[in-house]
Structure 1
Amino acid sequence: QVLEELQRLLLPSLIIPDGRLEYLVEQALLTQVASCQYYNGTAPHLSLFSDFSAGREQLPTQTVDLLDAHSDEVWHVQFSHNGEMLASASKDSTSMIWQIRPNGECINLHTLKGPDTQLTYVAWSHDDAKLLTCGNSG
């Protein structure tokens, strides 16, 4: 009640809005994560007692699967929005759709053979129902 009475007596420009401190602390923590070059996207436990830091040990360093079905260079890969599939575009004129299993293993679901065009890019539609490919014809 005393605080409410003081707030009524003070100019509005002198009063800190409700939730402002919480917002500033959250913003500071997220800025620490965003500025870390080794942050790998998994949500860490953030603490007010120490600064956030991540080292090279946070980066994946073990090969889970080798995608060797293309017969020439792979020029682009892209994960689907839901993270369950991976598409690849290759100089061999094919695009492949891979299913990502929970253990990280990739299974070739489809091989899309286009005209004699070196594919340079693949992109998923927002609902992951369609795949765009483009490339060079020479």
Structure 2
Amino acid sequence: ERQLASFQRAIEQGADGVAILDDEEYVYVDDTHVEMYGFDNKDQLIGSTWHTLYDDSEISRLEAEALPAVESDGYWRGQVTGQRPDGTTFPTEISLTLIDDGRIVCTARDETEQRRQQRELKLFQQAIEQAADGVAVLK
């Protein structure tokens, strides 16, 4: 019991959200998953379908791409756009893993900060290239 409690605390404190789905309904969500998707508590997600977290086009894409891969390969990882109850969206990387009892474990990582850093790096690289072009013209 102590090991199980320690394991659960580790999941709850992780940077990635973790959820378990039985069929299409959440049977477990950790605090990170709840907060990332903009809910106030776990009870708002437990028993609801994963469709709650995505718009119609993303749901269609996941049903066409991710779920068949999970069924055939036991695993899928990809980029999705999550949607919070207030309508805001955010870039997310999720992985779906089929476990031996038929349920799916979902881990989700909010990539908002990573994408912001990538944009800043790209702008910095462009500025360096422009400065180098200006120096080359002066020669």
Give the TM bin, normalised by the shorter chain: under 0.3
TM-score, length of structure 2 as denominator length: 0.21
TM-score, length of structure 1 as denominator length: 0.21
More relative contact order in 1 or in 2 (CA 8 Å, sep 6+)? Answer: 2
